[in-house]
Structure 1
Protein backbone atom coordinates (compact mmCIF):
# COMPACT_ATOMS: atom_id res chain seq x y z
CA UNK A 1 0.00 0.00 0.00
CA UNK A 2 1.52 3.34 -0.96
CA UNK A 3 1.48 6.35 1.40
CA UNK A 4 -1.50 8.25 -0.10
CA UNK A 5 -3.69 5.16 0.22
CA UNK A 6 -2.68 4.46 3.82
CA UNK A 7 -4.66 7.41 5.25
CA UNK A 8 -6.91 8.63 2.43
CA UNK A 9 -8.67 11.33 4.52
CA UNK A 10 -5.65 12.57 6.49
CA UNK A 11 -5.16 15.56 4.17
CA UNK A 12 -8.85 16.28 3.63
CA UNK A 13 -10.58 19.46 4.78
CA UNK A 14 -13.51 18.98 7.14
CA UNK A 15 -16.78 20.28 5.72
CA UNK A 16 -19.56 20.64 8.28
CA UNK A 17 -23.08 20.36 6.86
CA UNK A 18 -26.19 21.01 8.97
CA UNK A 19 -29.71 20.10 7.82
CA UNK A 20 -32.42 22.75 7.61
CA UNK A 21 -36.06 22.09 6.83
CA UNK A 22 -36.65 25.81 6.23
CA UNK A 23 -33.64 27.73 4.86
CA UNK A 24 -35.37 31.12 5.17
CA UNK A 25 -36.09 30.49 8.86
CA UNK A 26 -32.52 29.23 9.37
CA UNK A 27 -31.06 32.29 7.59
CA UNK A 28 -33.05 34.59 9.91
CA UNK A 29 -31.94 32.66 13.02
CA UNK A 30 -28.26 32.72 12.06
CA UNK A 31 -28.44 36.44 11.20
CA UNK A 32 -30.63 37.70 14.04
CA UNK A 33 -29.47 35.42 16.85
CA UNK A 34 -25.86 34.58 15.93
CA UNK A 35 -24.94 37.64 13.86
CA UNK A 36 -23.83 35.51 10.89
CA UNK A 37 -24.60 36.15 7.22
CA UNK A 38 -23.98 33.63 4.43
CA UNK A 39 -20.96 34.30 2.23
CA UNK A 40 -22.46 32.29 -0.60
CA UNK A 41 -25.82 30.86 -1.54
CA UNK A 42 -26.98 28.23 -3.98
CA UNK A 43 -30.35 26.60 -4.51
CA UNK A 44 -30.88 24.53 -1.39
CA UNK A 45 -27.87 25.75 0.58
CA UNK A 46 -26.22 28.57 2.52
CA UNK A 47 -22.46 28.78 3.11
CA UNK A 48 -21.07 30.54 6.20
CA UNK A 49 -17.48 31.43 7.07
CA UNK A 50 -16.05 32.11 10.55
CA UNK A 51 -12.33 32.82 11.03
CA UNK A 52 -11.44 31.10 7.77
CA UNK A 53 -13.49 27.95 8.51
CA UNK A 54 -16.70 27.12 6.66
CA UNK A 55 -19.97 25.37 7.38
CA UNK A 56 -23.11 25.03 5.33
CA UNK A 57 -26.82 24.70 5.95
CA UNK A 58 -28.62 22.60 3.38
CA UNK A 59 -32.31 22.09 2.67
CA UNK A 60 -33.36 18.71 4.00
CA UNK A 61 -36.65 16.91 4.45
CA UNK A 62 -35.11 15.13 7.44
CA UNK A 63 -34.44 16.71 10.79
CA UNK A 64 -31.65 16.49 13.29
CA UNK A 65 -32.39 14.60 16.48
CA UNK A 66 -30.64 17.45 18.31
CA UNK A 67 -29.39 15.07 20.99
CA UNK A 68 -25.66 15.55 20.42
CA UNK A 69 -23.36 18.41 19.46
CA UNK A 70 -23.20 18.68 15.68
CA UNK A 71 -20.89 21.70 15.46
CA UNK A 72 -19.15 23.96 17.95
CA UNK A 73 -17.60 27.40 17.97
CA UNK A 74 -14.33 27.79 19.91
CA UNK A 75 -14.14 31.19 21.61
CA UNK A 76 -11.72 33.05 23.88
CA UNK A 77 -14.31 34.36 26.37
CA UNK A 78 -17.33 32.10 26.81
CA UNK A 79 -18.94 34.33 29.45
CA UNK A 80 -19.00 37.29 27.03
CA UNK A 81 -20.19 35.20 24.08
CA UNK A 82 -22.96 33.41 26.01
CA UNK A 83 -24.13 36.69 27.54
CA UNK A 84 -24.19 38.36 24.12
CA UNK A 85 -26.07 35.49 22.51
CA UNK A 86 -28.61 35.44 25.35
CA UNK A 87 -29.26 39.15 24.72
CA UNK A 88 -29.98 38.23 21.10
CA UNK A 89 -32.54 35.62 22.18
CA UNK A 90 -30.48 32.41 22.12
CA UNK A 91 -31.68 29.93 24.76
CA UNK A 92 -28.93 27.78 26.26
CA UNK A 93 -29.45 24.23 27.48
CA UNK A 94 -29.26 23.52 31.19
CA UNK A 95 -27.66 20.13 31.83
CA UNK A 96 -27.54 18.20 35.10
CA UNK A 97 -26.34 14.64 34.58
CA UNK A 98 -23.61 12.68 36.38
CA UNK A 99 -20.30 14.32 35.52
CA UNK A 100 -21.79 17.31 33.69
CA UNK A 101 -23.70 20.24 35.13
CA UNK A 102 -24.25 23.72 33.73
CA UNK A 103 -24.50 26.87 35.78
CA UNK A 104 -26.01 29.78 33.89
CA UNK A 105 -25.82 27.64 30.76
CA UNK A 106 -22.05 26.98 31.05
CA UNK A 107 -20.39 23.72 32.10
CA UNK A 108 -16.81 23.03 33.17
CA UNK A 109 -15.41 19.87 31.60
CA UNK A 110 -12.15 18.65 33.11
CA UNK A 111 -9.61 16.93 30.90
CA UNK A 112 -11.09 17.92 27.53
CA UNK A 113 -8.50 17.99 24.74
CA UNK A 114 -5.42 17.46 26.90
CA UNK A 115 -3.55 16.48 23.73
CA UNK A 116 -4.05 20.08 22.51
CA UNK A 117 -2.46 21.43 25.68
CA UNK A 118 -5.73 22.19 27.46
CA UNK A 119 -6.51 20.98 30.96
CA UNK A 120 -10.24 21.59 30.59
CA UNK A 121 -12.94 23.29 28.57
CA UNK A 122 -15.89 25.47 29.46
CA UNK A 123 -18.84 24.76 27.21
CA UNK A 124 -22.43 25.73 26.49
CA UNK A 125 -25.05 24.37 24.07
CA UNK A 126 -28.08 25.67 22.22
CA UNK A 127 -30.40 24.56 19.42
CA UNK A 128 -30.69 26.49 16.20
CA UNK A 129 -34.05 27.08 14.51
CA UNK A 130 -33.78 23.69 12.77
CA UNK A 131 -33.13 21.59 15.87
CA UNK A 132 -29.36 21.25 15.37
CA UNK A 133 -27.46 21.23 18.67
CA UNK A 134 -24.59 23.69 18.52
CA UNK A 135 -21.87 24.24 21.08
CA UNK A 136 -19.68 27.08 22.26
CA UNK A 137 -16.42 26.15 23.93
CA UNK A 138 -13.55 27.96 25.62
CA UNK A 139 -10.34 25.98 26.14
CA UNK A 140 -8.81 26.22 29.62
CA UNK A 141 -5.02 25.99 29.62
Structure 2
Protein backbone atom coordinates (compact mmCIF):
# COMPACT_ATOMS: atom_id res chain seq x y z
CA UNK A 1 0.00 0.00 0.00
CA UNK A 2 1.33 3.44 -0.90
CA UNK A 3 0.21 6.53 1.03
CA UNK A 4 -0.09 9.78 -0.92
CA UNK A 5 1.26 13.14 0.16
CA UNK A 6 3.80 13.78 2.89
CA UNK A 7 3.66 11.88 6.16
CA UNK A 8 5.01 13.92 9.05
CA UNK A 9 5.55 12.97 12.66
CA UNK A 10 7.10 14.60 15.70
CA UNK A 11 9.11 12.82 18.37
CA UNK A 12 10.04 14.45 21.69
CA UNK A 13 12.67 12.82 23.90
CA UNK A 14 12.94 14.37 27.39
CA UNK A 15 16.33 15.08 29.00
CA UNK A 16 17.98 11.78 29.86
CA UNK A 17 15.27 9.91 27.97
CA UNK A 18 15.66 6.95 25.64
CA UNK A 19 13.56 5.69 22.73
CA UNK A 20 14.06 2.26 21.22
CA UNK A 21 14.72 2.48 17.51
CA UNK A 22 12.10 0.86 15.27
CA UNK A 23 13.39 0.80 11.70
CA UNK A 24 9.87 0.61 10.28
CA UNK A 25 8.96 3.82 12.09
CA UNK A 26 11.79 5.75 10.41
CA UNK A 27 11.85 4.01 7.03
CA UNK A 28 12.29 6.31 4.01
CA UNK A 29 12.07 9.43 6.17
CA UNK A 30 14.09 12.64 6.15
CA UNK A 31 14.76 13.40 9.82
CA UNK A 32 15.40 16.91 11.13
CA UNK A 33 16.55 17.79 14.65
CA UNK A 34 14.54 20.88 15.57
CA UNK A 35 16.01 21.43 19.04
CA UNK A 36 18.18 19.77 21.64
CA UNK A 37 20.66 16.97 21.03
CA UNK A 38 19.99 13.43 19.82
CA UNK A 39 22.44 10.60 20.42
CA UNK A 40 22.20 7.54 18.17
CA UNK A 41 23.39 4.46 20.04
CA UNK A 42 24.45 1.91 17.41
CA UNK A 43 25.10 -1.81 17.57
CA UNK A 44 28.66 -1.08 16.41
CA UNK A 45 29.37 0.72 19.68
CA UNK A 46 29.32 4.14 18.09
CA UNK A 47 27.09 6.87 19.53
CA UNK A 48 27.21 9.99 17.32
CA UNK A 49 25.41 13.09 18.53
CA UNK A 50 23.45 15.55 16.40
CA UNK A 51 22.21 19.00 17.35
CA UNK A 52 19.73 21.56 16.11
CA UNK A 53 19.44 21.74 12.32
CA UNK A 54 20.97 18.33 11.64
CA UNK A 55 19.41 16.35 8.79
CA UNK A 56 19.55 12.57 9.05
CA UNK A 57 18.65 9.53 6.98
CA UNK A 58 18.38 6.63 9.42
CA UNK A 59 17.22 3.90 7.05
CA UNK A 60 19.73 1.05 7.04
CA UNK A 61 21.84 2.38 9.92
CA UNK A 62 22.64 0.05 12.87
CA UNK A 63 20.80 2.28 15.35
CA UNK A 64 19.39 0.61 18.46
CA UNK A 65 18.36 3.49 20.71
CA UNK A 66 17.76 7.24 20.39
CA UNK A 67 18.89 9.10 23.51
CA UNK A 68 18.78 12.66 24.75
CA UNK A 69 22.00 13.46 26.65
CA UNK A 70 21.08 17.14 26.96
CA UNK A 71 19.24 19.27 29.49
CA UNK A 72 16.29 20.24 27.28
CA UNK A 73 13.80 18.26 25.23
CA UNK A 74 15.16 16.85 22.00
CA UNK A 75 12.56 17.49 19.30
CA UNK A 76 12.83 15.53 16.07
CA UNK A 77 10.63 15.68 12.96
CA UNK A 78 10.43 12.98 10.31
CA UNK A 79 8.98 13.50 6.82
CA UNK A 80 8.30 10.72 4.33
CA UNK A 81 6.49 10.71 1.00
CA UNK A 82 5.10 7.20 1.23
CA UNK A 83 5.25 4.07 3.36
CA UNK A 84 5.06 0.47 2.21
CA UNK A 85 3.27 -2.09 4.36
CA UNK A 86 5.00 -5.32 3.43
CA UNK A 87 6.63 -6.32 0.16
CA UNK A 88 9.34 -4.58 -1.78
CA UNK A 89 8.86 -1.01 -3.05
CA UNK A 90 8.10 -0.73 -6.75
CA UNK A 91 9.73 2.57 -7.60
CA UNK A 92 8.20 2.74 -11.05
CA UNK A 93 4.79 3.20 -9.42
CA UNK A 94 5.71 5.61 -6.64
CA UNK A 95 5.33 9.37 -6.69
CA UNK A 96 8.86 10.48 -5.94
CA UNK A 97 9.35 13.98 -4.55
CA UNK A 98 12.26 16.37 -4.40
CA UNK A 99 13.47 18.82 -1.81
CA UNK A 100 16.10 21.44 -1.20
CA UNK A 101 17.58 23.38 1.70
CA UNK A 102 17.43 27.03 2.71
CA UNK A 103 18.97 28.94 5.58
CA UNK A 104 15.88 31.00 6.48
CA UNK A 105 12.43 29.40 6.37
CA UNK A 106 10.40 32.64 6.93
CA UNK A 107 12.30 34.39 4.11
CA UNK A 108 11.78 31.41 1.83
CA UNK A 109 8.06 31.33 2.63
CA UNK A 110 7.68 35.01 1.73
CA UNK A 111 9.68 34.64 -1.48
CA UNK A 112 8.00 31.53 -2.84
CA UNK A 113 4.53 32.49 -1.64
CA UNK A 114 4.45 36.25 -2.23
CA UNK A 115 7.10 36.97 -4.86
CA UNK A 116 6.59 33.86 -7.01
CA UNK A 117 2.92 33.36 -6.15
CA UNK A 118 3.15 29.66 -5.33
CA UNK A 119 0.88 27.86 -2.90
CA UNK A 120 3.06 27.24 0.16
CA UNK A 121 2.18 25.34 3.33
CA UNK A 122 4.23 25.09 6.51
CA UNK A 123 4.41 22.34 9.09
CA UNK A 124 7.02 21.39 11.70
CA UNK A 125 9.35 24.17 10.57
CA UNK A 126 9.45 22.99 6.95
CA UNK A 127 7.68 24.18 3.81
CA UNK A 128 5.90 22.38 1.01
CA UNK A 129 5.74 24.08 -2.38
CA UNK A 130 2.59 22.85 -4.12
CA UNK A 131 3.73 23.02 -7.73
CA UNK A 132 1.40 22.56 -10.68
CA UNK A 133 0.99 18.97 -11.79
CA UNK A 134 0.71 17.53 -8.27
CA UNK A 135 4.43 17.78 -7.58
CA UNK A 136 4.91 18.88 -3.97
CA UNK A 137 8.47 19.93 -3.19
CA UNK A 138 9.92 19.97 0.32
CA UNK A 139 11.91 22.97 1.60
CA UNK A 140 13.82 22.29 4.80
CA UNK A 141 16.10 24.41 7.02
CA UNK A 142 19.85 23.93 7.09
CA UNK A 143 21.90 26.44 9.12
CA UNK A 144 25.15 25.76 7.22
CA UNK A 145 23.39 25.76 3.86
CA UNK A 146 25.54 26.19 0.75
CA UNK A 147 23.58 26.96 -2.45
CA UNK A 148 23.74 24.38 -5.20
CA UNK A 149 25.74 25.26 -8.31
CA UNK A 150 22.90 24.12 -10.58
CA UNK A 151 19.31 25.21 -11.24
CA UNK A 152 16.98 23.55 -8.73
CA UNK A 153 13.63 24.70 -10.20
CA UNK A 154 12.63 25.76 -13.71
CA UNK A 155 9.37 27.59 -14.36
CA UNK A 156 8.15 27.40 -17.99
CA UNK A 157 6.14 30.51 -18.92
CA UNK A 158 4.22 31.51 -22.06
CA UNK A 159 5.81 34.99 -22.17
CA UNK A 160 9.30 35.16 -20.69
CA UNK A 161 9.71 38.91 -21.17
CA UNK A 162 6.53 39.61 -19.24
CA UNK A 163 7.54 37.17 -16.49
CA UNK A 164 10.97 38.77 -16.17
CA UNK A 165 9.49 42.27 -16.04
CA UNK A 166 6.97 41.27 -13.35
CA UNK A 167 9.64 39.62 -11.22
CA UNK A 168 12.02 42.55 -11.66
CA UNK A 169 9.24 44.88 -10.46
CA UNK A 170 9.14 42.81 -7.26
CA UNK A 171 12.86 43.27 -6.70
CA UNK A 172 14.16 40.06 -8.27
CA UNK A 173 17.61 40.45 -9.84
CA UNK A 174 18.54 38.27 -12.80
CA UNK A 175 21.90 36.58 -13.14
CA UNK A 176 24.40 37.12 -15.94
CA UNK A 177 27.18 34.57 -15.92
CA UNK A 178 30.75 35.25 -16.96
CA UNK A 179 31.84 33.48 -20.10
CA UNK A 180 28.30 33.29 -21.46
CA UNK A 181 27.48 35.70 -24.28
CA UNK A 182 23.90 36.31 -25.29
CA UNK A 183 22.17 38.05 -22.37
CA UNK A 184 19.84 40.91 -23.31
CA UNK A 185 19.13 44.01 -21.23
CA UNK A 186 16.49 42.16 -19.20
CA UNK A 187 18.81 39.30 -18.31
CA UNK A 188 17.23 36.82 -20.73
CA UNK A 189 19.77 34.48 -22.29
CA UNK A 190 19.37 34.34 -26.08
CA UNK A 191 22.58 32.53 -26.93
CA UNK A 192 20.99 29.27 -28.05
CA UNK A 193 18.31 26.88 -26.91
CA UNK A 194 15.08 28.02 -25.24
CA UNK A 195 14.99 31.58 -23.94
CA UNK A 196 15.85 31.44 -20.24
CA UNK A 197 16.56 33.82 -17.36
CA UNK A 198 18.17 32.79 -14.08
CA UNK A 199 17.62 34.26 -10.63
CA UNK A 200 18.09 33.17 -7.02
CA UNK A 201 15.95 32.75 -3.92
CA UNK A 202 16.98 34.42 -0.62
CA UNK A 203 19.17 31.39 0.21
CA UNK A 204 21.08 31.67 -3.08
CA UNK A 205 19.47 28.65 -4.75
CA UNK A 206 19.32 29.11 -8.53
CA UNK A 207 15.91 29.19 -10.24
CA UNK A 208 14.87 30.02 -13.78
CA UNK A 209 12.01 31.07 -15.98
CA UNK A 210 12.12 29.77 -19.54
CA UNK A 211 10.02 30.28 -22.62
CA UNK A 212 7.56 27.50 -23.34
CA UNK A 213 7.68 25.98 -26.82
Q: Report the equivalent of 2:209.
A: 136
SS of the residue 1:107 aligns to: coil
SS of the residue 2:194 aligns to: strand
Q: Report the equivalent of 1:125.
A: 198
Q: Report the equivalent of 1:34.
A: 116
**Per-residue deviation, 1:101:** 2.7
> Distance between the aligned counterparts of 1:136 and 1:12, measured in 2?
28
In terms of Rg, which structure is larger?
Answer: 2
CA contact (8 A) 2:182 2:191 kept: no
Residues 1:89 and 2:162 aligned together: no
Question: How many residues align structurally?
Answer: 123
- Name the structure, 1 or 2, with higher relative contact order (CA <8 Å, separation 6+): 1
TM-score (norm 1): 0.73
Q: For 1:49, which of 116, 125, 130 is the aligned residue?
A: 130
Flag structure 1 segments of 5+ consecutive residues without an equivalent.
111-119
Root-mean-square deviation (CA, aligned residues, Å) is: 2.3
> Which aligned runs of 4 or more in structure 1 are off by greater than 3 angstroms?
8-14
Q: Report the equivalent of 1:117.
A: none
Q: Report the equivalent of 2:188.
A: 106
Bigger proportion of residues as helix:
1
> Distance between the aligned counterparts of 2:200 and 2:209, measured in 1?
11
